[in-house]
Amino acid sequence: MATHFLTDTAALTGRSLKHITRSPDTIITTAVVPIAIMLLFVHVFGGAIDTGPEAAGSYIDYVLPGVLLITVATGISYTSFRLFNDLESGIFDRFHSMPIARSCALWAHVLTSLAANAVSVVVVVGVALLMGFRTGAGVLDWLAVAGILVLFTLALTWVAVIAGLSATSVEGASVFSYPLIFLPFISSAFVPTASMPGPVGWFAEHQPATSIVNTIRDLFAGQPVAGDVRVALAWCVGALVVAHVVAMTTYRRKIA
Protein backbone atom coordinates (compact mmCIF):
# COMPACT_ATOMS: atom_id res chain seq x y z
CA MET A 1 0.00 0.00 0.00
CA ALA A 2 2.78 2.40 0.95
CA THR A 3 4.65 1.57 -2.27
CA HIS A 4 1.57 2.34 -4.37
CA PHE A 5 1.08 5.63 -2.49
CA LEU A 6 4.69 6.71 -3.15
CA THR A 7 4.53 5.64 -6.80
CA ASP A 8 1.23 7.43 -7.40
CA THR A 9 2.43 10.57 -5.61
CA ALA A 10 5.65 10.59 -7.64
CA ALA A 11 3.70 10.29 -10.90
CA LEU A 12 1.33 13.14 -10.04
CA THR A 13 4.21 15.28 -8.76
CA GLY A 14 5.97 14.76 -12.09
CA ARG A 15 2.83 15.99 -13.83
CA SER A 16 2.74 19.17 -11.70
CA LEU A 17 6.45 19.81 -12.18
CA LYS A 18 6.04 19.54 -15.95
CA HIS A 19 3.45 22.32 -15.79
CA ILE A 20 5.98 24.52 -14.01
CA THR A 21 8.81 23.77 -16.44
CA ARG A 22 6.48 24.72 -19.28
CA SER A 23 5.66 27.96 -17.48
CA PRO A 24 8.89 29.06 -15.74
CA ASP A 25 7.50 32.58 -15.31
CA THR A 26 5.90 31.41 -12.05
CA ILE A 27 9.30 30.71 -10.47
CA ILE A 28 10.75 33.89 -11.99
CA THR A 29 7.86 35.95 -10.61
CA THR A 30 8.24 34.33 -7.21
CA ALA A 31 11.91 35.32 -7.08
CA VAL A 32 11.56 38.80 -8.62
CA VAL A 33 9.37 40.27 -5.86
CA PRO A 34 11.71 39.32 -2.95
CA ILE A 35 14.77 40.39 -4.96
CA ALA A 36 13.14 43.78 -5.65
CA ILE A 37 12.38 44.16 -1.92
CA MET A 38 15.95 43.20 -1.05
CA LEU A 39 17.39 45.71 -3.53
CA LEU A 40 15.05 48.43 -2.24
CA PHE A 41 15.88 47.95 1.43
CA VAL A 42 19.61 47.43 0.99
CA HIS A 43 20.40 50.12 -1.59
CA VAL A 44 17.67 52.69 -0.88
CA PHE A 45 16.70 52.41 2.79
CA GLY A 46 19.70 50.52 4.15
CA GLY A 47 21.87 53.57 4.77
CA ALA A 48 19.18 55.18 6.92
CA ILE A 49 18.31 52.11 9.01
CA ASP A 50 20.10 51.54 12.29
CA THR A 51 20.07 47.86 13.23
CA GLY A 52 22.25 48.47 16.29
CA PRO A 53 24.45 45.77 17.82
CA GLU A 54 22.15 43.05 16.45
CA ALA A 55 23.72 43.46 13.01
CA ALA A 56 27.09 41.73 13.03
CA GLY A 57 27.82 42.46 9.37
CA SER A 58 26.37 44.49 6.53
CA TYR A 59 22.68 45.22 6.15
CA ILE A 60 22.27 42.55 3.45
CA ASP A 61 23.36 39.98 6.05
CA TYR A 62 20.66 41.32 8.36
CA VAL A 63 17.73 41.34 5.93
CA LEU A 64 18.31 38.14 3.94
CA PRO A 65 16.54 35.79 6.42
CA GLY A 66 13.37 37.88 6.24
CA VAL A 67 13.57 38.09 2.47
CA LEU A 68 13.74 34.28 2.30
CA LEU A 69 10.47 34.05 4.26
CA ILE A 70 8.88 36.54 1.86
CA THR A 71 10.11 34.39 -1.04
CA VAL A 72 8.31 31.34 0.32
CA ALA A 73 5.15 33.31 1.17
CA THR A 74 5.09 34.66 -2.39
CA GLY A 75 5.58 31.22 -3.93
CA ILE A 76 2.85 29.38 -2.07
CA SER A 77 0.12 31.51 -3.68
CA TYR A 78 0.76 29.58 -6.90
CA THR A 79 0.04 26.32 -5.06
CA SER A 80 -3.50 27.38 -4.20
CA PHE A 81 -3.91 28.76 -7.72
CA ARG A 82 -2.86 25.47 -9.37
CA LEU A 83 -4.96 23.42 -6.96
CA PHE A 84 -8.04 25.57 -7.61
CA ASN A 85 -7.56 25.22 -11.37
CA ASP A 86 -7.31 21.43 -11.07
CA LEU A 87 -10.51 21.31 -9.07
CA GLU A 88 -12.34 23.54 -11.54
CA SER A 89 -11.11 21.58 -14.55
CA GLY A 90 -12.46 18.33 -13.15
CA ILE A 91 -9.09 16.59 -13.20
CA PHE A 92 -9.55 15.53 -9.56
CA ASP A 93 -12.71 13.65 -10.50
CA ARG A 94 -10.71 11.77 -13.13
CA PHE A 95 -8.01 10.96 -10.56
CA HIS A 96 -10.62 9.63 -8.13
CA SER A 97 -11.94 7.27 -10.80
CA MET A 98 -8.51 5.65 -10.95
CA PRO A 99 -7.15 3.08 -8.47
CA ILE A 100 -4.92 5.58 -6.63
CA ALA A 101 -4.90 7.00 -3.11
CA ARG A 102 -7.03 10.13 -3.02
CA SER A 103 -4.51 12.12 -0.98
CA CYS A 104 -1.84 11.66 -3.68
CA ALA A 105 -3.27 14.58 -5.64
CA LEU A 106 -2.79 16.92 -2.69
CA TRP A 107 0.69 15.65 -1.86
CA ALA A 108 1.70 16.17 -5.48
CA HIS A 109 0.86 19.87 -5.19
CA VAL A 110 2.66 20.10 -1.84
CA LEU A 111 5.86 18.50 -3.14
CA THR A 112 5.73 20.64 -6.28
CA SER A 113 5.49 23.73 -4.06
CA LEU A 114 8.48 22.52 -2.06
CA ALA A 115 10.57 22.04 -5.21
CA ALA A 116 9.54 25.34 -6.82
CA ASN A 117 10.17 27.33 -3.65
CA ALA A 118 13.55 25.68 -3.20
CA VAL A 119 14.60 26.93 -6.64
CA SER A 120 13.33 30.45 -5.84
CA VAL A 121 15.20 30.49 -2.51
CA VAL A 122 18.44 29.42 -4.23
CA VAL A 123 18.02 32.21 -6.79
CA VAL A 124 17.44 34.80 -4.06
CA VAL A 125 20.49 33.61 -2.08
CA GLY A 126 22.55 33.78 -5.28
CA VAL A 127 21.52 37.40 -5.86
CA ALA A 128 22.24 38.18 -2.20
CA LEU A 129 25.78 36.83 -2.63
CA LEU A 130 26.25 39.14 -5.62
CA MET A 131 25.01 42.02 -3.45
CA GLY A 132 27.65 41.29 -0.82
CA PHE A 133 26.04 38.76 1.49
CA ARG A 134 28.68 36.90 3.47
CA THR A 135 28.23 34.17 6.03
CA GLY A 136 30.27 32.34 8.62
CA ALA A 137 27.89 29.39 8.50
CA GLY A 138 29.30 25.89 8.25
CA VAL A 139 27.77 22.90 6.51
CA LEU A 140 25.64 21.97 9.53
CA ASP A 141 24.43 25.56 9.84
CA TRP A 142 23.36 25.58 6.18
CA LEU A 143 21.58 22.26 6.65
CA ALA A 144 19.78 23.69 9.68
CA VAL A 145 18.70 26.73 7.67
CA ALA A 146 17.47 24.45 4.89
CA GLY A 147 15.55 22.33 7.40
CA ILE A 148 13.80 25.35 8.93
CA LEU A 149 12.89 26.70 5.49
CA VAL A 150 11.53 23.29 4.45
CA LEU A 151 9.32 23.16 7.57
CA PHE A 152 8.20 26.75 6.98
CA THR A 153 7.42 26.00 3.33
CA LEU A 154 5.48 22.85 4.17
CA ALA A 155 3.43 24.67 6.81
CA LEU A 156 2.51 27.54 4.48
CA THR A 157 1.89 25.16 1.58
CA TRP A 158 -0.73 23.24 3.55
CA VAL A 159 -2.31 26.61 4.39
CA ALA A 160 -2.32 27.28 0.65
CA VAL A 161 -4.03 23.91 0.09
CA ILE A 162 -6.83 24.98 2.43
CA ALA A 163 -7.22 28.22 0.46
CA GLY A 164 -7.21 26.38 -2.87
CA LEU A 165 -9.86 23.92 -1.70
CA SER A 166 -12.07 26.59 -0.16
CA ALA A 167 -11.82 29.34 -2.79
CA THR A 168 -14.69 30.16 -5.12
CA SER A 169 -12.61 32.17 -7.59
CA VAL A 170 -9.05 32.38 -8.92
CA GLU A 171 -8.52 35.66 -7.09
CA GLY A 172 -9.70 34.16 -3.82
CA ALA A 173 -7.32 31.25 -4.25
CA SER A 174 -4.26 33.49 -4.27
CA VAL A 175 -5.15 36.64 -2.32
CA PHE A 176 -4.86 34.79 1.02
CA SER A 177 -1.07 34.93 0.71
CA TYR A 178 -0.88 38.74 0.98
CA PRO A 179 -1.02 38.86 4.81
CA LEU A 180 1.67 36.15 4.92
CA ILE A 181 3.90 38.18 2.60
CA PHE A 182 3.54 41.30 4.77
CA LEU A 183 4.01 39.48 8.08
CA PRO A 184 7.86 39.61 7.96
CA PHE A 185 7.68 43.40 7.60
CA ILE A 186 6.26 43.59 11.15
CA SER A 187 9.04 41.48 12.65
CA SER A 188 12.77 41.64 13.23
CA ALA A 189 13.37 41.02 9.51
CA PHE A 190 14.27 44.61 8.60
CA VAL A 191 14.71 46.46 11.89
CA PRO A 192 15.10 45.37 15.53
CA THR A 193 11.76 44.98 17.28
CA ALA A 194 13.04 47.18 20.12
CA SER A 195 12.90 50.18 17.76
CA MET A 196 9.14 49.79 17.23
CA PRO A 197 6.44 51.54 19.31
CA GLY A 198 4.85 49.61 22.20
CA PRO A 199 1.96 47.52 20.79
CA VAL A 200 3.64 47.06 17.41
CA GLY A 201 6.90 46.04 19.06
CA TRP A 202 5.09 43.53 21.29
CA PHE A 203 3.32 41.97 18.30
CA ALA A 204 6.55 41.89 16.26
CA GLU A 205 8.44 40.23 19.09
CA HIS A 206 5.87 37.48 19.61
CA GLN A 207 4.74 36.64 16.09
CA PRO A 208 6.26 33.58 14.34
CA ALA A 209 8.31 35.38 11.68
CA THR A 210 10.57 37.00 14.29
CA SER A 211 11.72 33.77 15.93
CA ILE A 212 12.28 32.14 12.54
CA VAL A 213 14.21 35.15 11.20
CA ASN A 214 16.35 35.40 14.35
CA THR A 215 17.20 31.69 14.19
CA ILE A 216 18.22 31.80 10.53
CA ARG A 217 20.21 35.01 11.14
CA ASP A 218 22.17 33.36 13.98
CA LEU A 219 22.84 30.29 11.83
CA PHE A 220 24.10 32.42 8.93
CA ALA A 221 26.36 34.28 11.35
CA GLY A 222 27.76 30.99 12.61
CA GLN A 223 26.63 31.85 16.14
CA PRO A 224 24.98 29.55 18.68
CA VAL A 225 21.22 29.72 18.25
CA ALA A 226 19.34 31.15 21.21
CA GLY A 227 15.93 30.13 22.56
CA ASP A 228 14.39 31.44 19.34
CA VAL A 229 15.05 28.11 17.63
CA ARG A 230 12.64 26.26 19.94
CA VAL A 231 9.96 28.87 19.35
CA ALA A 232 10.59 28.81 15.59
CA LEU A 233 10.31 25.02 15.41
CA ALA A 234 7.18 25.05 17.58
CA TRP A 235 5.51 27.58 15.26
CA CYS A 236 6.49 25.69 12.10
CA VAL A 237 5.58 22.22 13.35
CA GLY A 238 2.38 23.41 15.04
CA ALA A 239 1.20 25.29 11.94
CA LEU A 240 2.11 22.31 9.75
CA VAL A 241 0.12 19.82 11.84
CA VAL A 242 -2.95 22.06 12.18
CA ALA A 243 -2.95 23.08 8.51
CA HIS A 244 -2.54 19.47 7.36
CA VAL A 245 -5.45 18.27 9.49
CA VAL A 246 -7.73 21.10 8.34
CA ALA A 247 -6.69 20.63 4.70
CA MET A 248 -7.39 16.89 4.73
CA THR A 249 -10.74 17.44 6.46
CA THR A 250 -11.69 20.09 3.92
CA TYR A 251 -10.57 17.81 1.08
CA ARG A 252 -12.70 14.89 2.27
CA ARG A 253 -15.75 17.14 2.51
CA LYS A 254 -15.00 18.60 -0.91
CA ILE A 255 -14.87 15.24 -2.67
CA ALA A 256 -17.57 13.51 -0.62
How many angstroms from the chain centroid is the CA of residue 146? 12
Helix, strand, coil % over all residues of the chain, rounded to 5: 80, 0, 20
CA–CA separation, 245 and 56 (whole Å) = 40
Instruction: Tell me what pLDDT residue 252 has.
Output: 82
Instruction: Tell me what pLDDT residue 49 has.
Output: 67
Rg over CA atoms, the chain: 19
Instruction: Give Cβ neighbours of residue 244 (< 8 Å, ≥ 6 apart).
Output: 158
Instruction: Tell me what pLDDT residue 64 has.
Output: 94
Spans of all domains in the chain: 2-255
Instruction: Tell me what pLDDT residue 15 has.
Output: 74
Instruction: Tell me what pLDDT residue 50 has.
Output: 58
pTM: 0.88
Instruction: Tell me what pLDDT residue 66 has.
Output: 94
Per-residue pLDDT tens over the stretch 156-174: 999 999 988 887 777 777 7
How far from 14 is each of 19, 38, 153, CA to CA, in Å?
A: 9, 32, 19
Instruction: Tell me what pLDDT residue 98 has.
Output: 66
Per-residue pLDDT tens over the stretch 220-240: 988 888 788 999 999 999 999
Instruction: Spell out the per-residue pLDDT of the chain, length 256, in tens.
Output: 456 667 777 777 777 777 777 666 666 777 888 899 888 888 877 666 656 655 556 889 999 999 999 999 988 888 888 888 777 776 666 666 666 666 777 888 888 889 889 989 999 999 999 998 988 888 999 999 999 999 999 999 999 999 888 877 777 777 777 888 889 999 988 988 888 888 999 999 999 999 999 999 999 988 888 788 999 999 999 999 999 999 999 888 877 5
- 3-class secondary structure for 174-187? HHCHHHHHHHHHHC
